[in-house]
Structure 1
Amino acid sequence: MTLPRSTQISLDATPYYHCVSRCVRRAFLCGRDRESGIDYEYRREWIESRMHKLSEIFALDIAAYAVMSNHYHVVLYIDRETALSWPNTEVILRWQKLFKVSTLALRYLRGDTLDYSETNKLNEVVTLWRERLMDISWFMRCLNEAVARQANAEDHCTGRFWEGRFKSQALLDERALAACMVYIDLNPIRANIAKTPEDSDYTSIQQRIRAAISGEQPKSLLPLVGGERLNMPKGLPFQLDHYLELVDWSGRHLDPRKRGLITKETPPILKRLGIAPKHWLYLNRNFESRFKGLVGSVETVRLACIRLNKRWVHGIGDCQHFLSSASC
């Protein structure tokens, strides 16, 4: 049974969410249609560009993404603190980039004097827009609808382009976050459309590698800032060099025939996270299929269940086996 988003997303549990949206058509979204021979590869740029544009408007940061032939993955970080700090003017201007705003909002932007009832009404609307600007469902809606309209116009057709709902997973701790990000970054290699992470087009890992060559991090992605510490800046709790090493190492061991090599030169990040190499490599191949709504150690999953008023969650046995410290 399909569950409402309110039972799957809780900022009290985690600000990180893995979202997947798939195309419903027979033809590939972005690859080459085997029957018509038409190459739609350029459409992957539509998704990538739209994704980055929306992240500049929403209080959502992109941690990882990969745009594939008929689906895409994205890990989003909900920046509630930033959204709550925006003044009303900032909220209106951001919402105006996506939708038409009310006459009352336009008057406010012009500096017109509003009476008491008008001010209250404006505050109600701005509060609603502020909530939507840190809402994953609204982000995915703005992303998918725009791409669907563009593709339908190009194909001279109407109807659904995407599946009715996107899939989401709450990433409850560092283990789940790291496993999901690497799983996403290695999608092109698993699909045999790229040989190395740096050759994986339309992915976050390619962006990170290209920026790292210049000693930088991509401005369009949530930065990797290292382990938790005092006055820690906003960003992912992994060191950039360790994360890149982890992706490279993991990509070299996706072939099940190479399992005998997994004990050599294990990246230090796995030791810090407490994940056994053999379990890590299994997650690299099966993360999406093994876990459903909540992903993390058993302890974090149980706490999230309490917050979300859930009695049971699919995949808790796998959380115990692959992501809990007792099993590692």
Structure 2
Amino acid sequence: MANEIPITVEHVEAIARQRLPKNVLDYYASGADDQTAVKRNRTDFDRLYILPRVLRDVAKVDTSTRLLGHTYPLPIGIAPTAMQKLVSGGAAGYEALVLTVDTPVLGNRLNERLNPLVLPKGLKLANIASLYGQKEGNPTSNRTLMNARSAKEATEILRAMGDQAHSASLTWGETIKFLRQNTSLKIILKGILAPEDADLAIEHGADALIVSNHGGRQLDSAPSTIQALPEIVAIVRRRIPVIFDGGIRRGSDVFKALALGADFVLVGRPTLWGLAFDGRNGVETVINILERELSRTMALSGVVNIQNINQAFLRHLEGGRLSKI
């Protein structure tokens, strides 16, 4: 399989799974607790059906779109993911500040606890190492906290961690205000699931939000992101871009997220599988696969541009019958 040219994202993942050490694979692939949120992020896409329109001129399909003042050839970007050097030696630049808002503490990631991730020789978390002198190869204190067996032990770990701990005290009233005072970059909030929080994001001046459940790695009982998306789109009312993250593995998944109102989608784990497969070329392979699948899905659905993808193309099963969303 390793010598085959992958033709689906799942094929790329299968190759990556063969190559990665178990503790690295568990770190990237696993979710919290019973991993039901990870599964729902995928299976809930299968509950949506695309209703194609026919006899439309789809000879020229345009997959380009605009987001935050930029034009992109695809409505697909790469999600923020941690410790990419575990699968590749490359680096990337940035044009926006993405604040992950759903991680006051780490979720209960059982596979990570059973197979702890210790960074290999030569790798370290640069931001923590520069501030707190993290020793090479040691797990972060936040991951030590995840293994606490009692409230007393957790309190002792937190006391020893000091400022290294994930902040559990961020608030709407102070956080975005502080960031705005200290950066000229666009501020994007990642980890929004409640429509009320989407409204607060706009009220406090966020430039965009990302509908995300952290890939199922935080609260296992949280809804899938495709479940949460419609309510958030309804309350945002196009005042800021709504970006979607979670479970995208096919071009048809991209189509469905856009049809439910997302302005843009992100892929996280698939890009990591691409890095493990063939570095930068592997990531390009993943994006090219999604582009071909999205373009084909659009043509087969009777749509020639991203702006015309809407809920009219979607149906879901209700009582054994297809119903409008």
Q: Which has a greater percent of helix?
A: 1
Q: Provide the TM-score with structure 2 as the length reference.
A: 0.27
| Higher RCO (C-alpha 8 Å, min separation 6) | 2
Q: Which has a greater percent of strand?
A: 2
Q: Provide the TM-score with structure 1 as the length reference.
A: 0.27
